Amino acid sequence: MLKALPARFLVSPEPGGRRRRPRPRSLRPISAALMTNPAYFEVGRLLGNYGFMNITSYSSSQSGGLPNDAVNQDLSLGYSPEEIERLRVQDVGEGQVKIRLYEGRVVQGPLKGTQTVFKVYPGAIAGASEANLMALNELRTHAFLQSDARDICENIQFLLGAFETATGEQWLAFRDDGRYSAADYAKITSERQLKERPNFWNPYDRAYKLELRKYFVLRLLNGAMCGLVHMHNHDRLHQSLGPSSVVLNTVAEKNGYYLLPQLRDLAFSVDIGYSSVGVGALSDGLWRRASAAGASTPLEKRAFGVADDIYGAGLLIAYMAFIPFCEAGIMDSISLQRLLENTFRLDIYAAREYESLEQNIYMVLPGR
């Protein structure tokens, strides 16, 4: 019979009771200035490509088969039927823009030798006007967030430079602080569980691995939330927050103490400074949703935008609380979102009760 870990292991700041002195990160000094000359960079091999996941619209929430008494119970929690109808769920779709990733390094200047990851947006020759807007928006957002070298957040990917090629492609060069994403970690972890066999000789083995996983996930979420708070404090929304937009320097749970999560994919970032609320080619959808929800003044629209980002952060927390602790194939991000929004109507207590009966998931939302 599996027993819990001894208390001396659980009260430690790290799983397993190990205590270490914080080791300063050996990051080289950085400058807020961007390199715009392609001669400063050397491009390596292709790493892959992917598309952006962005919020396309909001649709009315549906009960998803809940009995009427459950719906009535929801309405009794202080919300009127009109307010429930205004509670709309996100329709998330993959955009048309496909970007490529390359490895590389800096070959000139004070940062010579720094490893980089290039993000390449399609050029104007390919008719990618939306890609140009996204690349420009991402460049401007990073430049703004890095404008003060004394106030650079380590939980946001650092932009080293950018340039345009003869074919109109936009190349953004980021410091290579990690190539895995939170989605990669969740996928690797869930697939590993299909291959693992219980260690009958060590009854604490499974519990210890769970402690390592919990510690890793909590550090991941803490770093992602720190990056998001930094953006909000500087009047910027992320608007594309998800497991694929959090980059990690490791996916090894035993190295969780040194985990450095960073937010990336700021192409849909929105300026919510009071003079900019309600404008922007890539933020039209956000302001339409804000107006549909009853936000009319700049202050109300700004609050709606922040709440929209926080809602995305909540879905990220739900994803990381479920997927790494499930066997592969049981749940995915879209199914989880639909389950929370349509079936449970954002009732987290009902979701916890449901998961307590699920035999294939052996850990669920924190705090249960």
Domains and CATH numbers, the chain: 38-57+76-175 (3.30.200.20), 179-356 (1.10.510)
Residue type at position 69: D
Alpha-carbon 285 to chain mean position:
20
Handedness of CA 289, 294, 296, 301 (dihedral sign): negative
Cβ atoms 168, 123 nearer than 8 A: yes
Nearest to 120 by CA among 174, 193, 179, 199: 174
Per DSSP, 156 falls in state B
How many other CB atoms are there within 10 angstroms of residue 113's CB atom?
Answer: 8
β strands within 39-178, DSSP E: 41-60, 88-106, 115-121, 159-164, 170-175
- Please, what is the end-to-end C-alpha distance for the chain in angstroms? 22
Cβ atoms 134, 283 nearer than 8 A: no
Taking the whole predicted model, whether its pTM rises above 0.85 is answered as no
Give the per-residue pLDDT at 155. 97
- What is the Cα–Cα distance from 368 to 363, expressed in whole angstroms? 9
- Helix (H) or strand (E) segment spanning residue 180: strand 180-181
270-271 and 180-181 strand pairing: unpaired
What are 78's two structure tokens? 């202080």
Per DSSP, 329 falls in state T
Per-residue pLDDT tens digits of the chain, which is 368 residues long? 334 334 433 334 555 555 555 454 444 434 457 899 999 999 999 998 876 654 444 444 333 333 333 333 333 334 444 443 433 343 444 456 788 999 999 999 999 999 999 999 987 655 558 888 999 999 999 999 999 989 999 999 999 999 999 888 999 999 999 999 999 999 999 888 777 766 655 667 778 888 999 999 999 999 999 999 999 999 999 999 999 999 999 999 999 999 999 999 999 999 999 888 888 878 889 999 999 999 999 999 999 999 999 999 999 998 998 888 887 777 777 777 777 777 777 777 777 676 665 544 444 444 44
How many other CB atoms are there within 10 angstroms of residue 84's CB atom?
Answer: 15
Give the per-residue pLDDT at 202. 66
- The 10 Å CB-count burial string (b at 16+, else e) for 314-347 is ebbbbbbbbbbbbebeebbbeebbebbbbbbbeb
- What is the Cα–Cα distance from 206 to 190, expressed in whole angstroms? 14
Q: Please tell me the number of Cα atoms within 13 Å of 191 on its side-chain side.
A: 6
